[in-house]
Structure formats: C-alpha cells, structure tokens
C-alpha cells in the first residue's frame, strides 16, 4: 500500500481564485498533470496537497507557490519540467519598508521594459508581487536573473546590469554551442 503524503501552502487571499481557476480548471489541470489532490480552504487561504509521490508533491507545492507569488498558472506549470526551478527573493530582508515601491519599480522598469529585458536575456520569467520578486526558468538562467535583480535592488545602474546580462548571455550561448558541437563530434566517432 502506498503511503500518502501531505503538505500545505499559504496563498494570499487575492490569489486563491487563480489557484482554483475558472470553473476549477486550474486546480483540475494541476491534479491531472501530477496525480496529486488539491484541497483549497478559502477561509484560511490554505492549499493542502495530497499525494503518494513526494517528488510530485514538491512539484505541486512549487506550482502553488509560483501562482501565489503572482505567476499565471501556465507559467507556473513549467515547474513540472525537471529542468525548471522557482526562486523567490524576499525583499523585506533586503530593503527598508519605505524603499519597497522604489526598488520594485527599478526591477520592473518604465512600462515593464527592465523586467522584460531580464526575462529575454535570461530566458526566464519574473513576477514582482507583494514583498517578493520571483523567477522561473532553468537553474543557470535563474541564477543569472537573480543576480541581475539583486544588483538592481542594491542600486546598480541599469546600464551596468544590462551590459553584464549581455555578457552572460553571450557566455551561455557559446557554452551551448560548444556542448552541441561536442555532442555532434562524439557521434561522428562511433
């Protein structure tokens, strides 16, 4: 007999409806994709997750956290891919209360351009919500995006952050090309 595991995620009141989705579609989609059962307590803003596979339970927990931190469910579901991770940066640990709006504005940029550029250059997704900035993507890309965000939070000029991101993007592209060439060469020898 399989052992059932359980975990809970606290979700902001205004994000509970997003977890459930229109006519329960999001909740059902998560359940069918993972084999886990979700129970949403709208009074306590808690999502309980039940399942027999602890790894799937962890995946669902990450998806719910991503939705709770402002991502739309489609982007949050990317966390089902084994090579995608969620990183949550707690701003309250980094900036004073009075600086929160200014710091979030620096990361978002005028008309969202800064956030979009970081997302584009790191092939990741960023959500600025509440007192957090969250990132979804492949681990190496997420670490680069996180560093760019933290540099902005700590006051680095946007131009310096953009230059650094361009450099990292070039390094990543070169590394990917080298690994692809290496793989192709390896197959030729056989």
Going by C-alpha positions, the residue among 81, 77, 55, 52 that lies closest to residue 66 is: 77
Q: Does residue 15 or residue 1 have the better pLDDT? A: 15
**Are the C-beta atoms of residues 24 and 71 closer than 8 Å to each other?**
no
**Does 14 score more than 70 pLDDT?**
yes
- Mean pLDDT across the stretch 154-160? 96
**Does 1 score more than 60 pLDDT?**
no
> What tokens were used for 4?
């059932």
pLDDT at residue 190 in the model: 46
pLDDT at residue 126 in the model: 99
Measured CA to CA, the distance from residue 55 to residue 156 in angstroms comes to 38
Residue 51 CB-density burial (10 A; 0-12 exposed, 13-18 middle, 19+ buried): buried
**pLDDT tens by residue, 78-107:** 999 999 999 999 999 899 989 999 999 999
Domains of the chain: 1-82 (3.30.1370.10), 83-190 (3.30.1370.10)
Measured CA to CA, the distance from residue 168 to residue 162 in angstroms comes to 10
* Other CB atoms within 10 Å distance of the CB of residue 72: 13
Alpha helices in 35-89 (DSSP H): 54-68, 73-76
Reported confidence tier of residue 113, pLDDT bands at 50, 70, 90: very high
User: DSSP assignment of 94-124, as one string?
Assistant: TS-GGGHHHHHHHHH-GGGHHHHHHHHHHT-
DSSP category for residue 91 = G
**Does 187 score more than 50 pLDDT?**
yes
- Mean pLDDT across the stretch 115-122? 97
**pLDDT tens by residue, 68-85:** 999 999 999 999 999 999
**Does 186 score more than 60 pLDDT?**
no
Question: Nearest 10 degrees: CA dihedral of 166, 170, 172, 178?
Answer: 180
- Mean pLDDT across the stretch 162-190? 74
- Mean pLDDT across the stretch 27-53? 97
Q: Does residue 10 or residue 97 have the better pLDDT? A: 10
Distance separating the N- and C-terminal Cα atoms of the chain = 46
**What value does the mean pLDDT of the chain take?**
93
Contacts of 94 (CB under 8 A, 6+ apart): 103, 150, 153, 154
Tokens 């990361």 belong to residue: 107
Q: Which residues pair with 134 in a beta bridge?
A: 88, 127
């Amino acid at each position: 007999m399989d052992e059932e595991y359980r975990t809970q995620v606290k979700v902001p009141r205004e994000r509970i409806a997003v977890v459930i989705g229109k006519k329960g579609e999001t909740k059902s989609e998560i359940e069918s994709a993972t084999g886990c059962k979700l129970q949403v307590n709208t009074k306590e803003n808690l999502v309980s997750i039940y399942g027999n596979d602890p790894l799937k339970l962890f995946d669902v927990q990450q998806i719910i956290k991503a939705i709770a931190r402002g991502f739309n469910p489609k982007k949050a579901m990317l966390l089902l891919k084994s090579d995608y991770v969620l990183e949550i940066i707690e701003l309250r640990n980094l900036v004073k209360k009075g600086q929160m709006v200014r710091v979030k504005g620096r990361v978002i940029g005028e008309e969202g351009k800064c956030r979009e550029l970081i997302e584009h250059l790191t092939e990741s997704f960023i959500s600025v919500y509440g007192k957090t900035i969250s990132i979804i993507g492949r681990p190496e890309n997420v670490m680069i995006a996180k560093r760019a965000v933290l540099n902005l939070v700590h006051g680095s000029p946007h131009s310096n952050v953009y230059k650094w991101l361009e450099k990292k993007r070039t390094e990543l592209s070169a590394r990917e090309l080298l690994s692809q060439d290496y793989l192709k060469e390896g197959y030729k020898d056989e």
